[in-house]
Amino acid sequence: MMAVAISVSAGVAEAETPVLPEVTVVDTSLSGPPVEQTTAGPVRGYQALTAVSATRTPTPLEEIPQSIQVITRQLMSDQNNLTVSDALRNVSGVQGTNPLQTPAYNSTYIRGFAAEQWIDGMTTFYNGGNRDSLINAERIEVLKGPSAILYGGGSGSPVGGVVNIVSKLPTSSAFYNAGIVVGSHSYYQPYFDVNQPLNADGTVLFRMTGAYTGADSFIDVLNTSAYSVSPTLMFTNNSDTRLILQAQFTDWRQQEYQALPATGTLTGGFRIANSLFPGPADIPKSYSKTTSGTVQLEHTFDKVWSGSIKARASKTEYSELAQNYVGTDFAANTPSFPPSFWNLLNLDLSQEQTEFSVTANMLAQFDYGVSRNKVVFGLDYSRVKDQGYMLADFNDFFTLGFVDLASPNPAFQPYVRPSNTPMNTVADGDNTYTTTGAYVQLQSTIWDRLNVLAALRVANLKIDSYSPVFMRSDVTDTTKVLPRIGVAYEVAGGVSVFAGYSEGMKGNPFIFYAGTPKPEESKQLEGGVKFNTVFGLSGSAALFQIDRTGVPVSVGLASVPEGEQRSRGFDMDLLWQPNRNWQVLANYAHINATLTNAVPGVAPAGNQLNIVPENSGRLWVNYRFGPGTLEGWRIGAGIYAASSAYVDLANQFTTSGYYTADATVGYESRHFDISVTGRNLTGQDYYVPYNYYGGRVAPGDDRSVFANLALKF
Please give the C-alpha separations between residue 305 and each of 53, 89, 263, 362, in angstroms, as whole numbers.
20, 39, 62, 7
Distances from the Cα of 338 to the Cα of 51, 64, 223, 268, 436, angstroms: 55, 56, 32, 10, 52
d(CA 150, CA 4): 28
Check residue 557 and give its pLDDT: 60
C-alpha distances (whole Å) from 437 to each of 105, 357, 404, 458 are: 26, 12, 53, 6
Q: According to the model, what pLDDT value does residue 510 have? A: 63
Cβ atoms < 10 Å from Cβ of 581: 16
pLDDT of residue 25: 44
Q: Is 81 exposed, middle or buried (0-12, 13-18, 19+ CB in 10 A)?
A: buried
Is residue 455 within 8 Å of 148, Cβ to Cβ?
no
Separation of CA 548 from chain center: 20
* Cα–Cα dist 548/159, whole Å: 8
Round to whole Å and give the CA distance between 321 and 348. 5
For each successive 10 residues of the chain (713 residues), what is the average pLDDT?
34 37 43 87 93 86 93 97 96 94 84 90 85 96 83 75 94 95 98 97 96 97 97 96 97 96 95 95 95 97 96 94 90 92 93 93 95 95 90 89 92 92 86 92 95 94 82 84 94 93 83 75 95 91 95 70 91 96 97 91 90 97 92 97 96 97 96 96 96 92 97 93
Pairing mode of beta strands 41-44, 35-38: antiparallel
Nearest to 403 by CA among 554, 264, 220, 285: 264
Which range marks the domain in which residue 703 is found?
4-712
Global pTM value: 0.93
Please report how many Cα atoms fall inside a 13 Å half-sphere around the Cα of residue 27, on the Cβ side: 16
CATH number, domain containing residue 19: 2.40.170.20
Q: β-pairing, 161-167 with 116-119?
A: parallel
Q: What pLDDT score was predicted for residue 556?
A: 62
Please give the single-letter amino acid code of residue 103.
P
At 659-707, the pLDDT tens digits run 999 999 999 999 999 999 999 999 999 999 999 888 999 999 999 999 9
3-class state of residue 428 by DSSP: strand
pLDDT computed for residue 359 by the predictor: 93
Q: Say what the pLDDT of residue 428 is.
A: 83
Q: Judge contact between 546 and 114, C-beta under 8 A.
A: no
Specify the DSSP element, H or E, that contains 73: helix 73-78
Amino acid at position 377, single letter: F
Is 520:111 a contact under the CB 8 Å cutoff? no
Burial of 629 (0-12, 13-18, 19+ CB in 10 A): exposed
List residues bridging with 251 in a β-sheet.
Answer: 227, 289
Instruction: Supply the mean pLDDT for the chain.
Output: 90
Backbone angles phi, psi at 332, to 5 degrees: 60, 25
Do residues 2 and 493 lie in contact, with contact meaning Cβ atoms separated by under 8 Å? yes
Contact call for residues 413 and 375 (beta carbons, < 8 A): no
Report the SS3 class of residue 74.
Answer: helix
Residues 6+ apart with CB under 8 A from 398: none
Helices (H), 334-469: 396-399
Number of domains into which the chain is organized = 1
State how far the Cα of 389 lies from the Cα of 425, in Å rounded to an integer: 7
Range 205-209, long-range pairs (CB < 8 A, 24+ positions): 205/17, 205/170, 205/171, 205/172, 205/233, 205/234, 205/236, 206/170, 206/231, 206/232, 206/233, 206/234, 207/168, 207/169, 207/170, 207/171, 207/231, 207/232, 207/234, 208/232, 209/135, 209/136, 209/168
**pLDDT for residue 31:** 61
